[in-house]
Structure 1
């Protein structure tokens, strides 16, 4: 992608894929900016905003639900767990049309909430949170916190969340990447150019009758940089979680 982002359409056909050709970096970047009417970086910021909010809220909801299912005698808890596992089997594409009808009825179509709210729900996050709580949060520690007078909310936020940090990083990464890569949901929900994420924006560029593939690849390369930075920044926490799980 890095090499191809420097090429023009003829260069992509006439030169080997792993060998650079004429330097078209500036020309491709200019093409991206002109075609998107200088909205490209706004689309990248939209993707970052959608993914960040969905990742933070979805992680908190997932570990809270997993904690409740693992440590409390919830009426119908087994049914809820079965529903969560069933949710892992459904691809998001099957739910997009029902979600659109629901949000259209609520008057939330073409708003940021139409993308953020569905993205906050993660059956995988709930499942992983429950498994990690069962393995990493001892009942004795919870009982000690309650004997010290801590409320359930304080026990959760002051004790449980500290123990679940590696799992939370993993869940956050999964939700962040899933929201970033989600294409069909924002394509159906959003009509405004200002609200588009970078995935939908680049799709519009590819649907043009004469797309400049080098420019599209450069846009994809620039759009994936926040994901690379996120993985590099959270790598040590993820590795710590893997090591902790191995020891346990």
Structure 2
């Protein structure tokens, strides 16, 4: 006698609320594309608004500036303001401009070279007291530059450098943060195999640094140069302490001296605004021109 096997029925799901296809959690509206783009637009507008105000205020005369009519599209006096800027004080403004270019351009270039050389030496070479000396460099990073103005003034007075070009130029050649940054770049961009191959080929340490190390550290060199150029160009307190001859003033201190006279001579207002606009241009030009070198030096010193 045969028995029929019971018909197998599919098991029911033990949990009726079995999960279906997974769906990504809904993002809050604050992280939506429209909200993020709107926040970026607001941040960009907030950042560029002072520059836009400066562009329009440069073309206004004294009456418009005092009346607050800087954003109105009428009453342009740009040519008159630039002519007055070039002729006031026998063109003293462009003397200040040249001084700033010398202080910032040459000072930042030499400072970047010194920092890259020191950072390269800290990374590549081994010498007694190396880490202690580097710790002293890091200690210099913590000291604000304004706290060093008075000691540097006393030192410059002993060396009879006060109220000279060197009183402002020489301190700009030292940047402890640049040395630290150069060592970080050296650790990231200088493979030890390449340096060892150069030594095996008979290259000396100076030749190795000049032909291999320095080209590969171009991004670090440019970074330190831009940082130091901006710091020297905007430097105000040190020239204020060191200089009394207005022919040696940088543009920042010169504009400050004009701005201090606007209460007695309101005609200096357009000069200060126009000079401030021209003073921004080298910083913009430096960043736009040198930004392509940030990646250009990554493999410039590599060997086949």
**TM-score, normalised on structure 2?**
0.75
Structure 1 position 96 matched with structure 2 position 153: no
Question: In structure 1, what is the Cα distance between the partners aligned to 2:295 and 2:70?
Answer: 34
Q: Could you say which residue in structure 1 is the equivalent of 2:277?
A: 221
Q: Could you say which residue in structure 2 is the equivalent of 1:71?
A: 124
Structure 2 unaligned spans of 5+: 1-53
| Structure of greater Rg | 2
User: Is residue 64–residue 70 contact of structure 2 (8 Å, CA) maintained in 1?
Assistant: no
The 5 A counterparts of 1:114-133 are 114-133=167-186
* CA separation of 1:13 and 1:230: change in aligned 2, threshold 3 A: same
Cα-to-partner distance string for 1:13-39 (whole Å, 9 max, x where unaligned): 445543334112233234433443311
User: Is residue 55–residue 172 contact of structure 1 (8 Å, CA) maintained in 2?
Assistant: yes
Structure 1 position 54 matched with structure 2 position 107: yes
CA offset at residue 240 of structure 1? Answer: 5.0
- Tell me the C-alpha RMSD between the 2 structures: 2.0
Question: In structure 1, what is the Cα distance between the partners aligned to 2:297 and 2:238?
Answer: 31
CA offset at residue 46 of structure 1? Answer: 0.9
User: Is residue 222–residue 294 contact of structure 2 (8 Å, CA) maintained in 1?
Assistant: yes
CA offset at residue 158 of structure 1? Answer: 0.9
Q: Give secondary structure in 1 for the equivalent of 2:291.
A: helix
Q: Give secondary structure in 2 for the equivalent of 1:2.
A: helix
> How many aligned residue pairs are there?
243
Structure 1 position 210 matched with structure 2 position 269: no
Higher relative contact order at CA 8 Å, sep ≥6: structure 1 or structure 2?
A: 1
Q: Could you say which residue in structure 1 is the equivalent of 2:290?
A: 234
Structure 1 unaligned spans of 5+: none
